[in-house]
Structure 1
Amino acid sequence: MENNLLSTINNPSDLRKLSENQLPQLAKELREFIIDIISQKEGHLGASLGVIELTIALHYVFNTPEDLLIWDVGHQAYGHKILTERKSLFHTNRDLNGISGFPKRSESIYDSFGVGHSSTSISAALGMAMASLLKNETEKQHIAVIGDASIASGMAFEGLNHAGVTNANLLVILNDNAIGIDPSVGALKNYLTSVKEGRNPKQNNIIKSLNFDYSGPIDGHDLPKLLSELRRLQNVKGPKFLHIITTKGKGLQLAEEDQVKYHAPGKFEAKTGKIHPKNEEGLPPKFQDVFGHTLVTLAKENSRIVGITPAMPSGSSMKYMMEALPERAFDVGIAEQHAVTLSAGMATQGMIVFCNIYSTFLQRAYDQVIHDVALQNLPVIFCLDRAGLVGEDGATHHGVFDIAYLSCIPNLIIAAPLNEIELRNMMYTAQLGLHQPIAIRYPRGRGEIIDWQQPFEKIEIGKARVLKKGSKIAFLSTGTIGTNVTKAILLCKQPEAVGHFHFPFIKPLDHTTLETICKEYEKIITIEDGSIIGGFGSHINHYVLEKKYAITVVNLGIPDTFIEQGSVPELQHICQIDVTNITNQINLLL
């Protein structure tokens, strides 16, 4: 009977009532449950399918939530969520007011640490384990599940390095499937492959050298073997490390065969796994593809251009350059700090470096941006994909802080194109010989221009553009949110009263245009798809105050709160930067 066992399980206590020989049947039902819902709802598929047996085994053997379980990144935690009191809510996954796509402390006592960015699990679990030692809770278990792509990151090694000199009751489980979102890269990946193939002598073990009790590699889909090894490790004191081998997408043949595509496949047929084709003919391009194709065009003309991305070649469309000019495009793995300083090093030698990092992940390399790039005034070109609200991935992934956290850095130009054509021209301008670093921010998703591959034009740095003249209100926008403003002005009571100015450059700011606006208009509205605090509007306020202009300024943007998941239109509405709210704001001021 379908879902016979799963229907009886609401939490791990129910799970532990099953006999061991029932667990393979539960694994099958849990896979089917996830496939059925994600096929209709979309979400992260392959990672969760790969750890079904591990998820069941962990909750079966350990006494969660008293024993603390942490999933690194959290793409793989769907099975965990379903077994921990969220089965009936799972259909709301990634929806507005639904459950988060990632583990989240405020959502469940079983989510012992909030995740969404990689490589944090070992440090967090070690912190918990050391706290337990101080509280004399000697029986408490602390488990970090981390993938082979995430463990190559610097922070994971910092955690391992520290854990090895403690007597903390920590179990690190390496879920080794040779892939993150894209295939894993680097020397550590090659080392793990040789361990799996039995090519490395036992004494040459990195993890053992760090004072961990190492076991494995074992088959992560073999439930009896997993259960027996986890039970053994329960009674081993100090830092322990279990190496398991899994297949991402396990149980859905197409997902096993194309692990990159089925990381987050969109809607698909549950029975076969066949992805529903999207009719993309005649649609405007995704901004990431504008970046990717433009980079290839520029790099073919200029042999000094290189591309660097930390583990996101598909997501950022750096893959186009990796295919066309593989010797000049680098995926450095989940290593944002390294990506930035590597870019700086190349820039010292005259290379023109396009460093593509998602806005939310550049936060992880903040010191490197300041110390290694800006302080030395090196002309690295940062392309910040997924800037602004990203939608269903929620609070961990919104790129809404970059304007604020970059604005205070000297020497750094900050740019935000209105559309695809301007993004192309900014990239073209940046590689013509800037003598300082620049960050170009652009959103996730599609633009609005079909015929975007126009001849390149050089842009004047720090110059604003008048999109429409008006008589009373000046609307100042930066970036693609300006398209909402254009639509809103047409819908307001007195369109002729509203002028619209696009600021492609947040820094340097066009003071000449600002002076004209302050003299010719009664009121200013600023808008950005970034944090109001410290953002574009703040710079306008500062200028108006400094020059002592008696003009009213209203700032629209992301409020001082973490915005949860939902579709971009829903979230824009919550932040009052959608067309309807902008129209209302204009009418209010008129």
Structure 2
Amino acid sequence: MAQELREFIINIVATKEGHLGASLGVVELTIALHYVFNTPDDILVWDVGHQAYGHKILTGRKEIFHTNRQLGGVSGFPKRSESEYDTFGVGHSSTAISAALGMAIASKLKGEIDKQHIAVVGDASIASGMAFEALNHAGVTNTNLLIILNDNAIGIDPSVGALKNYFTKVKLDGAKEADNIFEALNFNYSGPIDGHNLDLIISELERLKNVPGPKVLHLITTKGKGLRQAEENQVTYHAPGKFDALTGDLAPKSTELQSPKFQDVFGKTLVELASQNKKIIGITPAMPTGSSLKFMMDAFPERAFDVGIAEQHAVTFAAGMVTQGFSVFCNIYSTFLQRAYDQVIHDVCLQKIPVIFCLDRAGIVGEDGPTHHGIFDLAYLNCIPNLIIFAPRNETELRNIMFTAQQGLDLPIFIRYPRGRGKILDWQKPFKNIEIGKAEIIKKGEEIAVLTIGTVADNTVEAIEALHFSLQKKISLIDLRFLKPLDESLLHQVFKKHKAIITIEDGTIIGGLGTSVVAFAASNGYKNSIEILGIPDIFPDQGTISELQEIAGISSEKIKQTLQRYL
């Protein structure tokens, strides 16, 4: 059965794409958990959830699993609205122990004394602060809580930190009670055991069912188990894209010259700047490959830090270094900066500490869906004093704002850019300074002004170019670039000259660019017609970026239709 499940996952992901290595690594565990426990009455919570493909396939979704991560299809992560077996929605790491503990204490209050609660957590996730908070609480409760520590020494990139070193020591020396961190926190610890020995896992789970109180079962697994390439190249095969299901080989890369990924523009530019400026530091929470900070880690290992899944720590760690005269680039995915919101306010902005934040995967990210869309950053940053918000329209702008920022700013700056590739092949041009708070006029017209921020300007240019030439002349296009500070002098000119204003952003309509422009108009007594295009007040589902932009009304076609209404 394990072999059949592995083959099914490999065959689907080979053609439909998605997360691969994590699910292959827990096939035996997944089968054992559903065999031993009476799910969904017994509650099973998967941390992060990209390893739950086998779980989904075994719980009634085999026939529709080919729709995984597609618009209207199966979510790539556990989702409560999708199945009663998905007991808690996940997508960001380190939440499973807290959720399962809440469920376990609720069961106790309801008198459900035989109900079991299982949280499956990876060795990278359990090192996060939130997981430790939950362990600290769980250790003093007498609940039916079982934590499965799925230890494969890797998250997306290899695990880091003192806890990783501890787990390595446990694997080599065995877990002596005297130096066992879980025993010290009041957990009944067992393991480490082979996470691919189905009989052994089943017998251990059967035993632990009858052990009272909080428990930890430590499993040693291999990420990508059952596909040679996925075992040997675990970083690439975390989410490999399309590959040959029979051989395991990745689909051949296009030989056509491609414009760079924004993450690589960040990574290579940082190395270029760091080679000239010895004060530059790079920090990322567990995303060195995804953010391309890996380039800096290879070139200047003593000045680049992967702090593990610890966004809160990353932000305040960066702030501490800046106070000592360093120029710190802290690269965090937009959706993960949400996890460090208090640190942004209390430890950075309140004290005017000029950390340079690079927010990767801003805007709609596509198939990973609602847990990963970076659509809230413009709004959640906009309301905080003492900061600068910049969204580059293209790769050159990203390069130049990084160059500008490392020369020294008085305030922290948040630079947001999207997942995927830009459009400029020859992007490594000489650096130029960018004037803070200065917008850029792309096109001048007489009747309608379109105000954009970031790469959504590309869709807008396409929309304008699709109109008749006589209509194009009526449209002005301004790339505001900075949400904070706004270029108010240019906005005065825009409102005085044009009868209608359209704002376009790949962030939420509430709280972002459109909100700021409307507030500007109101405070200055302008009566122009204003329309805001952006992400409506919903959590967008998964789908391709183009599909989701079309639904939100910010695709080039939908922008063209909006312009035609005004023209």
Alignment partners' CA distance in 2, 1:296 and 1:277: 28
Q: Structure 1: how far apart are the matches of 2:474 and 2:56? A: 52
RMSD of the TM alignment (CA)?
A: 0.7
* Unmatched tracts of structure 2, length 5 or more: none
Match of 2:484 in 1: 507
> Which residue of structure 1 lines up, in the alignment, with residue 493 of structure 2?
516
Matched, 1:51 2:8: no
More moved, 191-200 vs 107-116: 191-200
Which of the numbers 119, 133, 150 marks the counterpart of 1:144?
119
2:271 to 281, 296, 321: 296
1:446-499 Cα deviation digits (max 9, x unpaired): 001001000000000000111000010000000000011111111124110000
Q: 2:367 aligns with which of 379, 385, 392?
A: 392
Q: C-alpha displacement at 1:154, in angstroms?
A: 0.2
1:569 alignment partner, one of 535, 546, 563: 546
Letter in 2 for 1:522: K
User: Per-residue deviation at 1:200?
Assistant: 5.4
Question: Does residue 1:539 correspond to 2:516, yes or no?
Answer: yes
1:399-426 alpha-carbon deviations (Å, 9 max, x no partner): 0000000011111100000000000000
1:418 aligns with 2:418: no
Which of these residues, 357, 378, 382, is aligned with residue 382 of structure 1?
A: 357
Aligned to 2:384: 409
Q: Which residue does 1:332 correspond to in 2?
A: 307
Most deviating of 508-517 and 489-498:
489-498
Q: How many residues align?
A: 565
TM-score (norm 1): 0.95
2:447 aligned to which of 450, 472, 477 = 472
Whether 1:439 aligns to 2:414 is yes
Q: Which residue of 2 aligns with 1:234?
A: 209
* Partners of 1:492 and 1:584 within 8 A in 2: no
Question: Helix, strand or coil: the match of 2:211?
Answer: coil
The correspondence of residues 115-154 of structure 1 with structure 2, limited to 5 A, is 115-154=90-129
Work out whether 1:527 is the aligned partner of 2:496.
no
Identity %: 67
In the superposition, the TM-score normalised over structure 2's length comes to: 0.99
What is the alpha-carbon distance in structure 2 between the residues aligned to residue 506 and residue 418 of structure 1?
13
Superposed counterparts of 1:91-490, under 5 Å: 91-198=66-173, 201-279=176-254, 281-490=256-465
Where 2:88 maps in the other structure, the secondary structure is coil
Shift of 1:45: 0.2
User: In 2, Cα distance between the equivalents of 1:307 and 1:277?
Assistant: 32
Following superposition, the deviation at residue 272 of structure 1 comes to: 1.3
Deviation of 1:168 after TM superposition, in Å, equals: 1.2
Task: Tell whether the 8 Å contact from 2:152 to 2:223 is kept in structure 1 after alignment.
Answer: yes
Q: Are 2:558 and 1:578 aligned?
A: no
Work out the CA distance in 1 between the residues paired with 2:156 and 2:310.
14
**Who is 1:497 aligned against?**
474
Q: Which amino acid aligns with 2:34?
A: H
Distance 1:158 1:539 in 2: 38
User: Could you tell me how far apart the structure 1 residues matched to 2:566 and 2:532 are?
Assistant: 12
TM-aligned CA deviation for residue 199 of structure 1: 5.7
Identify the residue that residue 12 of structure 1 maps to in structure 2: none
Q: Distance in 2 between matches of 1:199 and 1:120?
A: 28
Q: Distance in 2 between matches of 1:580 and 1:271?
A: 40
Cα distance in 2, alignment partners of residues 584 and 262 from structure 1: 41
Q: Which amino acid aligns with 1:73?
A: V
Residue type matched to 1:488 in 2? A
SS of equivalent to 1:499: strand
Partner of 1:23 in structure 2? none
Residue type of the alignment partner of 1:443: P
Instruction: Report deviation, 1:550.
Output: 1.4
Residues 175 and 191, structure 2, Cα contact 8 Å, conserved in 1: no
**Residue identity opposite 1:306 in structure 2:** I
* Shift in Å, 1:203: 1.4
For 1:162-206, what per-residue CA distance to the aligned partner results, in whole angstroms no more than 9, with x for missing partners? Answer: 000011110000000000000000000000000011165331100
Whole-Å separation in 2 of the counterparts to 1:489 and 1:388: 22
> Take 1:161 and 1:472, find their aligned partners in 2: how far apart are those partners?
62
Q: Which moved more, 1:161-170 or 1:486-495?
A: 486-495
Q: Distance in 1 between matches of 2:139 and 2:3?
A: 37
Distance 2:318 2:143 in 1: 38
**CA displacement 1:489-521 (0-9 Å, x = unmatched):** 111241100000001100000000000000000
Give, as a single letter, the amino acid of the residue that structure 2 aligns with 1:234. K
Residues of 1 paired with 2:455 and 2:253: CA distance?
Answer: 24
State how far apart, in whole Å, the 2-side matches of 1:225 and 1:349 are.
Answer: 53
For residues 142-177 of structure 1, the C-alpha deviation after alignment (integer angstroms, 9 at most, x for no partner) is 000000000000000000000000111100000000
Aligned partners of 2:508, 2:433: CA distance in 1, in Å? 29
The yes-or-no answer on 1:71 pairing with 2:39 is no
**Aligned match of 1:589:** 566
Q: Give the conservation status (yes or no) of the 8 Å contact 1:185–1:331.
A: yes
Post-superposition Cα deviations, 1:33-55, rounded to whole Å, max 9, x if no partner, equal: 00011001110000000000000
Deviation at 1:237, TM superposition (A): 1.0
SS of residue paired to 1:386? strand
Distance 1:258 1:491 in 2: 45
The DSSP-based 3-state class of the residue aligned with 1:537 is helix
For residues 154 and 119 of structure 1, the distance between their equivalents in structure 2, rounded to whole angstroms, comes to: 8
Provide the rounded CA distance (Å) in 2 between the counterparts of 1:202 and 1:255: 35
Corresponding letter in the other structure for 2:416: R
Equivalent pair of 2:177/2:183 in contact (CA under 8 Å)? no
